[in-house]
Amino acid sequence: MFNEAPVQSIALHPNYTTAMLRLDLLHAEISGNKWFKLKENFALAKIQGFNRVLTFGGAFSNHIAATAAASKAFGFESIGVIRGEDADLNNPTLQLAVSQGMQLHLVGRDQYLLKGDSDFIQNLQHLYGSFYLIPEGGNNLQGMIGCKDILQQNTFYDYVFCACGTGTTMAGLVAANTGAVVVGISVLKGRNQLPDEAQRLLNQAYPNNTFHVLGNEILDREFLNQHCILSTYAYSGYARYDEEVVRVKRHFAEQFAVPLDFVYTAKLMLGVQDLLERQKIPVGARVLIIHSGGLQGNPGFEARYQAKLAR
């Protein structure tokens, strides 16, 4: 059902050995880090006797699309609580989710903020019956444990870079304890601390390792020598249009035949390239870059910013 994720050598800088773990090639619809976040959740749901899962996400969410596809593949019913009661049900992401059998439940943005509230969850149970709850983005202990497996066959690197949203994937990479320094490139503007849930998960699973969120001050340091998230490359913020991010995405497609997504991996590569140019890691280091998928979100981004992209 799943392909083995290949490691592709990518010559980014003559002073470093750089490669990309192509998680985007694992599966056509449950690709990237999404499968790793979901697999332990579905295993636990089956053990606990559930046949239905419910989760949360935005109208263009990679997590919603992947959860819908995984549910169909493993024989679960699925419900997606979608942020924005005016969401376009015809957008590519939600069309894909519906085609996989997911039932959509649209809520206003204020109501969506209650997704962790017990009364809100209870109301959803009254509407849909019992279900196994997967948090937005797969951000729970099962999601983090699954992400530890990303590095199972890739333990010969000095540095591992990944895009960072909720922090779940990065927490899993750190918890894998391969000896590499793990660096997350945040896609969220203005984040100056690790999300509370990701830090809690990391502390629970691996209490002797912590990592920190660093801003532009990192450019004044000699080396990156500890696990950290860098907020330097978030630019205009989540899913916003930035000329530099679009340029990097197009460059990678042309030079390396590697498709990136606009929201996560294009910012990741922009950050990695800049850090290598500034020699913020020791010369000669072996660098692994995690391609976390997310390509299904490109059509929605392109539709939203088609005028700017056409320039």
Q: List, in order of start, the domains of the chain with CATH numbers.
A: 7-27+148-309 (3.40.50.1100), 33-138 (3.40.50.1100)
> pLDDT class for 87, splitting at 50, 70, 90?
confident
* Residue of 205, 223, 204, 206 lying closest to 214 (CA atoms): 223
The pLDDT of 55-81, averaged and rounded, is 96
Residue 194 in this model has a pLDDT that exceeds 60: no
Residue 207 in this model has a pLDDT that exceeds 80: no
Max mean pLDDT range (75-79, 218-222, 296-300, 303-307):
75-79
Comparing 177 with 44, the larger pLDDT belongs to 44
* Residue of 134, 5, 129 lying closest to 64 (CA atoms): 134
Task: Say if residues 104 and 68 touch (Cβ distance below 8 Å).
Answer: no
Q: CA-based Rg of the chain, rounded to a whole angstrom?
A: 19
- Name the H helices within 106-162: 109-112, 118-128, 141-148
> pLDDT class for 217, splitting at 50, 70, 90?
low
Residue 251 in this model has a pLDDT that exceeds 90: yes
* Residue of 58, 52, 59 lying closest to 75 (CA atoms): 52
- Rounded Cα–Cα distance for residues 153 and 102 (Å): 33
The pLDDT of 63-90, averaged and rounded, is 94
Residue 190 in this model has a pLDDT that exceeds 80: no
pLDDT of residue 208: 63
- Rounded Cα–Cα distance for residues 167 and 78 (Å): 24
The pLDDT of 174-192, averaged and rounded, is 85
* Residue of 269, 104, 107 lying closest to 185 (CA atoms): 269
* Residue of 139, 142, 145, 122 lying closest to 48 (CA atoms): 142
The pLDDT of 254-277, averaged and rounded, is 95
- Rounded Cα–Cα distance for residues 149 and 204 (Å): 17
pTM for this entry: 0.93
Residue 192 in this model has a pLDDT that exceeds 60: no
* 22-44 pLDDT per residue, tens: 999 998 889 899 999 999 999 99
Handedness of CA 144, 248, 226, 179 (dihedral sign): positive
> pLDDT class for 165, splitting at 50, 70, 90?
confident
Average pLDDT, the chain: 90
Residue 195 in this model has a pLDDT that exceeds 70: no
Q: Could you give the percent of the chain with pLDDT greater than 70?
A: 91
Lowest mean pLDDT among 47-51, 164-168, 190-194, 225-229: 190-194
* 50-59 pLDDT per residue, tens: 999 999 999 9
- Rounded Cα–Cα distance for residues 120 and 257 (Å): 45
Q: Which SS3 state, helix, strand or coil, does residue 113 take?
A: coil
Which single residue is written with the structure tokens 């910012």? 267
**Residue count of the chain:** 311
Contacts of 72 (CB under 8 A, 6+ apart): 78, 100, 101
* 112-152 pLDDT per residue, tens: 999 989 999 999 999 999 999 999 999 999 999 999 999 98
